Structure 1
Amino acid sequence: MSGGDRPARTAPVRVVIADDEPMVRAGIRAVLATDPGIEVVAETGDGREAVELVRRHRPDVAVLDIRMPGTDGITAAAEIRRTGVATGIVMLTTFGEDDYILRALGGGAHGFLIKSGEPEELIAGVHAVADGAAYLSPKVAARVVAHLASAGTGGPADRSATAREQVAGLTSRERDVLALVAAGLSNGQIARRIGVVEGTVKAHVSSVLARLGVANRAAAAVLAHEAGLTPGGTCAGGPRT
């Protein structure tokens, strides 16, 4: 998981939390409070109220439970995106919610974390999304790839072969960029890593998305995992769209 070369922020990452379970909210707040670079500005147990809190506070990141009574995290994320507020969305999921994860992935969520994951993953995911990167925890990446394989017509081997064929159509530099996207680096981090200006990286990423036929960086990261382009167990992500 990357992040060691993350540039220092001049202000804490401001976060809104939405989860209908008070104990879970308390746990998230407690974990984030261990990092002086993160500030929880508001919390709620209701997805609709989360949208209003985002409008009011304009946080860097909203941490949303993917399933809540009434307005769930997926619907809340879509409404947040429609407001035009530049807030990154981190979804909290549990095992068995693969369909929800895929819906949220298609809806443009920027990060996915398992509720039972390590506290360090939550902190890393919040920072990654705040820095403009998408983030898939290792367990989520594995679940998504496995779910796509089981839902496909040809099985895991065929999906892997198809993904490798798609990736093979990229240039060598584009494959390098895709691997770094899938390793959790933002455009600025990739630029520093490969020694080019950030605008060049942005152009490469746009080309990768177009040539792979995917809508966003998180989807590109999933395809990279299917192709075996990233080491097993890495986090996945890339700049937000």
Structure 2
Amino acid sequence: MAADVQWWVRLAGEIRAAGRGEMPVEAPLRSVRDKLGFDCAALVASGLPRSGGNTHAAVANLDYPAETLAYITATYSRTCPVHQLAIRRGTHMRFADVPFDIRETRTYRDAILPNGFREGLTLPLAPPAAGAPIPGFLAMSSRHATPLDDESCLALTMLSHDLAALLDPGAEGDDAAAEVVLWISQNLVEVRTGGLDRVPLTRTELRLAVQSAVASTGDRTGFHHRAADGSWWRVRTVRRPGAVLVRIGRAPALDHLTSRELDVVGLVARGWPNERISQELGIAVRTVRSHIESSLIKLDCPNRTALARIAFERAFDTLRALRVATR
């Protein structure tokens, strides 16, 4: 189904807004699927923590059955010759464009035929995170046999860079990939990617993170957080007009630092003396010294100045240190 220029302009605005985290990723994806005449659509990311390494995982899915989506994110994205051809060419690939008999592929037997699909499209998207070896992609399928028109294919290809931002909404600069992205305004929590069940912070901790972001002098704040199961997470909050964007992703173990040592190191990085750290954290001065000495050893730092520099460079901070500092 052809779309006029005004619709494409509106769509581009939706895609960019969703890429900034200002609206759900599903919104522009649904617009594309419905307007262009497809029955199912999925936005698939590659090489993100949520997918366990350099495999694929769906960021958004519109009406693909669970078993078909599992096939798309695993077998199709890894071994299907149709997908590999699209990746090599770096442009869209329709069923009608495939230079061999698609009925000879496993994809036809396991995904196309069981669902009654007769046409489809794969659009490779540039990876948003540095080091992701395989791009994510947009997959759409239809039960009618009419290929998407060339003009629409070209327009989608021109929007592929903006569509790639939907794989990790709100990412900027050297941000690590997020497993969960939330948009929080007026105590309303809206999920952009991931799910609330995957957030490693309690409701109280999440509220404190948002309050710290609002109280901070900068637009962006970040800290590390150790969840109840011992896993480490990187939390980045970004102030937006009337809201706070919260990006949460897994982080490597922090050189065996304990949560309390990280509290202290975060305040050392701010140039605080031991006495002030002691007072604000409610621990003895000798305990502060003990945590600093332990951190110096674990991080192989010769002195306090080097410790502060490393803490600043590696964003060693915690929610508690951030709260204390903003207070």
| TM-score of the aligned structures, taking structure 1 as reference length | 0.28
Q: Which has the higher contact order (CA 8 A, sep 6+)?
A: 1
Higher helix share: 1
Higher strand share: 2
Specify the structure having the higher radius of gyration (Cα). Answer: 2
